[in-house]
Amino acid sequence: MSRQSRNLFAASQEALKSTQTFKHGAVITGKGGKIIVSGHNKGNRTKVLNHVFTCVHAEMDVMNKLINCVLIPKYGKDYKKHIKKYSIWVVRLENRDEIKYTYSKPCFYCSRLMKYYGFSNVYYTVNNEIVNKEKVELLESSHKSDCQMKGDNVTNIMKLV
């Protein structure tokens, strides 16, 4: 199994854990493509990266796990110096019994969070055949989810960046 296939499969297994209408999963890989953390989208009000969000996207979930459970315990306050070593992989599954990928480019706010923390690359599914890789610093997105349109997340994320 190729590294890409392995990472997409792991992210899809996380997406299947989601109870949301749109099932997103994500993994963060480190040096050599090793999967460090995985997560999925959640609809409940949750504290992520020291801010409360109305909904948590898969990207937010994995960034929170990496930073708070792996990097801060290992590096302390200097954790941001090490984030550029990591890449985020995101998938969105169609609501079917079989694993079928659909468009999962990170939203406006997740893109801003990735830039703020200094991640290097993001990989996201376009469909079953195409996976895009983008440098996070060049990532542009205008999409906002329904829960983000309500305004709660806008205030929280705008405080960060």
Parallel, antiparallel, or unpaired for β 46-48 and 101-102?
Answer: unpaired
Lookup result for tokens 């009000």: 45
What φ, ψ does residue 74 adopt, rounded to 5°? Answer: -85, -40
Lookup result for tokens 């996976």: 131
In a domain? residue 160:
no
- Alpha carbon 82 to chain centroid, angstroms: 17
In a domain? residue 137:
yes
The kind and range of the H/E element at 64 are helix 58-65
What are the pLDDT digits (tens) for 62-103?
999 999 999 999 999 999 999 999 999 999 998 766 788 999
Domain residue limits at 50: 3-155
Q: How many domains does the chain have?
A: 1
In a domain? residue 161:
no
- Strand, coil or helix: what is 63? helix
The whole-angstrom separation of Cα 39 and Cα 142 is: 23
In a domain? residue 143:
yes
What are the pLDDT digits (tens) for 32-68?
899 999 999 988 777 777 777 778 899 999 999 999 9
Q: For the domain that residue 142 is a member of, what is the CATH number?
A: 3.40.140.10
Q: pTM (2 decimals)? A: 0.86
DSSP character at residue 138: G
In a domain? residue 59:
yes
Least confidently predicted of 2-11, 51-60, 75-84, 114-123: 51-60
In a domain? residue 132:
yes
Per-position DSSP letters for 3-39, written without gaps between them: HHHHHHHHHHHHHTT--SSSEEEEEEE-GGG-EEEEE
